[in-house]
Amino acid sequence: MNSSPDKRKRWNARFLPRSIVARTSLSILVLAVVMGLAFSLMASWRVRAAEHDRLIARVHELTSTVESTVSIACFLNDATLAKEIAGGLMKNRIVAGVRVTSGAKLLYSGGVVEAARGRAARIDAFPQTIYSPFDQKNEVGQITLYVSSAEIEAQAAAYSRYTIWILSLQVSIVAAAVAFLVYLLVTRPIKGISDELHRLEIRSGMRLTWPSGNRKDEIGQLVLDVNGLIARLTDALANERELRVAHEISERRMRLVFEKADTGILVLDERGAVLSCNPSFVRILGPGAGLAGAQLDQLLRPHGPLVAELIESANAADEPREADMEVDLGSGRGKVWVELSVNRLGPNLLQGLVNDITERKRAEVAARELASRDPVTSLLNRRGIDAALVQVLERPIESRARPALLQIDLDHFKSVNDTHGHDAGDHVLRVVARVLERAVRRSDFVGRSGGDEFQVILAGVEKTSVALDIANKIIAEVAQPVDVGGGNLVRVGASIGIAMGSGEYEAPASFLRRADEAMYEAKQSGKGCVRVAAAAAAEPGDSAAA
């Protein structure tokens, strides 16, 4: 089923010329030849049969023509007359021989008078009885015409050939005329249009020539329509070109902004994958940010969850989502503060703006530190301690770790100050500060609330004994002599009160007071020792001094 049109296509491609002119001419010619042959065959058969019948009829006519004279010749046994008649008959080419008899008597016999069979010379006899000229009932003789069938066939064939020739000539002339007219009226204009269209360049504003002979027919209409299409196409192309130029200018301007802006600009898909970004984005976040397939929440470590949340909410809302975050760039490149803003651009498309705010943040931190630090020891001042306490106490309680506050008061510091001056005193304070800092973890806080009073806030200890160990270590360290310049060694001591967090929320002031009271207790007990404050939910036995 499928293969037959394909087969025909292949056949066409192989045997039919591509040119429309050649194809139509060939088709008309083939048609003419086929029809001419068919007509000729039919005509030749008919003409031949008709001509044969006509010639046979002519034999009978010949006999009829001479019948009355033959009748006289037979009646009178007149051989001369019979010969005369036969001579006349035999001038006819189809008559091969004549035989005239009168009763038993042979009056005349001439030419081929034997009926013969065979292809080459077939002779047929046409006998005719002759009656007396005076009595139609009285048989007086017989005339026999011998006719060459071969000659008849030859004549019929010749006539038929002549007919075929005339017919072929006519068909040929008609076919040639039709082919020429079709060429003139249809194929040549179409070929012209086709060739012209093939060479046509739309840009140059070329048009097809309107064929003069076909202005009012379908071909003229075709050319007009094609020209109309070309005109519209040219206009459309020109418009498009202008639009493209305008678009290019606008895009170049936008790109300039994009490329040169200090702000990192990026386009994200709805899951936070970076689709494109500008150089500033890479400059801020490092070369990894410019790689294909970078994921924004991976770039802004360790704030992945926050970034994911921003992206999710920006997907749902039209307002921009913003957050400041300190990003760890890793591999020794330090940290950078960025301000991230995420806007929805369209379906499944987000725009991100990243500003480097590290400088601003540093200034802020510096200012805040200035406000919360003791200028002598660089430890936290009173305000800083309060802030740290709030932070520690309000931190959600995880596991069994609890906060602890060590209230430290230096012993004998006043005499150092008095004996060696304030500079020496300050030096001692600084040495103590370093001792305290060394004694605790980085997550703990160390401060000086004023004079010779220090505070250590342990962010989380599991047992009171840990705080006690630290306190004893501090007492031992502080007790070491300090060189205050000029070969003078001074010695101070430390009395420490500890307040342990209970696991329940406790106000900072209460916490401070408990530690303070424990410290006074230590002072009362002879200095250079540590006391643990009683607590509301203190563990049994913990209130005892170590």
Partner 1 sequence: MKRVVFILILAAFALRIADANEPTSIVVIVNPGSGVDHLTRDEVIDIFLGRYRKLPSGRAALPIDIAEASAERARFYQLLVKKSRADMSSYWARLVFSGQTSPPFQVSDAKTAIELVQSNPNAIAYVDSASVSAGVKVVLELKP
* x-or-dash string of contact with partner 1, 220-259, rule CB under 8 A: ----------------------------------------
Q: Find the length of the chain.
A: 546
CB nearer to partner 1: give 80 or 348.
80
Contact call for residues 125 and 146 (beta carbons, < 8 A): yes
What is the DSSP secondary structure assignment for residue 538, as one 8-state letter? P
Nearest approach, Cβ of residue 116 and partner 1 (Å): 31
Amino acid at 535: A
69 versus 341: smaller Cβ distance to partner 1: 69
Min CB(143)–partner 1 separation in Å: 16
Q: How far is CA 368 from CA 37, 186, 362, 374, 405, in A?
A: 115, 95, 10, 12, 23
Q: Which is nearer to partner 1, 135 or 324 (CB)?
A: 135
Nearer to partner 1, 74 or 327 (CB): 74
Output the smallest distance, CB 138 to partner 1, in A.
8
Reading the block at residue 121, the tokens are: 């010379």
SS3 of 40-60: the string is HHHHHHHHHHHHHHHHHHHHH
Residue 159 in the binding site for partner 1 (CB under 8 A): no
Residue (77 or 298) nearer to partner 1, CB: 77
Measured between alpha carbons, how far is 283 from 287 in angstroms, rounded to an integer?
A: 7
Query: Rg of the chain over CA atoms, in angstroms?
Result: 67
Angle at 322 between CA 319 and CA 324, to 5 degrees: 175
What angle, rounded to 10 degrees, do the helices at 382-394 and 508-524 form? 110
Q: How big is the site for partner 1, counted in residues (CB under 8 A)?
A: 14
Residue whose structure tokens are 């936008």: 254
Token duo for residue 211? 């064929």
Min dist CB 152 to partner 1, Å, is 30
Cβ distance to partner 1 smaller for residue 138 or 480: 138
User: Minimum Å distance from CB 167 to partner 1?
Assistant: 46
**Nearer Cβ to partner 1 (80/209):** 80
> Could you write out the DSSP letters of every residue in 109-129?
EEE--S---SSSS-EEEEEEE
Taking the complex as a whole, the smallest distance from the CB of residue 136 to partner 1 amounts, in Å, to: 10
Task: Measure Cα distances from 316 to 20, 257, 345 in Å.
Answer: 64, 28, 12
Min dist. Cβ of residue 81 to partner 1 (A): 5
CB of 106 to partner 1, least distance (A): 16
Strand segments (E) across 194-320: 264-269, 274-277
135 binds partner 1, rule: CB under 8 A = yes
Residue whose CB is less far from partner 1, 77 or 168: 77
Q: Among 30-38, 131-139, 374-382, 512-520, which window interacts with partner 1 (CB under 8 A)?
A: 131-139
**Binding of partner 1 by 84 (CB under 8 A):** yes
Residue 80 or residue 170: which is nearer to partner 1 going by CB? Answer: 80
Q: Which residue stretch of 128-136, 142-150, 181-189, 352-360 sits at the interface with partner 1 (rule: CB under 8 A)?
A: 128-136
Residue placing its CB nearer to partner 1 in the complex, 134 or 162: 134
Among candidate residues 208, 231, 205, 232, the one with its CA nearest the CA of residue 220: 208
Tokens 């009362």 locate to 524
Shortest spacing between CB 80 and partner 1, in angstroms: 4
Q: How far is the CB of 109 from partner 1 (least distance, A)?
A: 17
Contact 191, 19 (CB under 8 A): yes
Q: How far apart are CA 217 and CA 37, in angstroms?
A: 35
Query: Smallest gap, in angstroms, from Cβ of residue 74 to partner 1?
Result: 10
| Residues of this chain, 42-81, that bind partner 1 according to CB under 8 A | 69, 72, 75-81
Least separation in angstroms between residue 141's CB and partner 1 is: 12
Among 134-142, 261-269, 415-423, 537-545, the segment contacting partner 1 (CB under 8 A): 134-142
Pick between residue 75 and residue 337 the one whose CB is nearest to partner 1.
Answer: 75
Residue 388 near residue 457 (C-beta atoms within 8 A) = yes
Q: Contact region for partner 1 (CB under 8 A) — 129-137, 356-364, 428-436, 507-515?
A: 129-137
Residue 416 CB: number of other CB atoms within 10 A? Answer: 23
- Return the closest-CA partner of residue 283 out of 345, 329, 320: 329
Question: Cβ distance 389 to 457 under 8 Å?
Answer: yes
Q: Exposure of 538 by Cβ count < 10 A (0-12 exposed, 13-18 middle, 19+ buried)?
A: middle
Stretch that binds partner 1, among 47-55, 132-140, 159-167, 399-407 (CB under 8 A): 132-140
- Tokens representing 343 are 């806007």
508-513-515 Cα angle (round to 5): 95
* Position 201, amino acid: E
Q: Confirm or reject binding of residue 134 to partner 1 (CB under 8 A).
A: yes
What's the min distance (Å) between Cβ of 84 and partner 1? 6
Q: ω before 302 within 30° of 0 (cis)?
A: yes
Judged by the rule CB under 8 A, the positions of this chain that interact with partner 1 are 69, 72, 75-81, 84, 133-135, 138
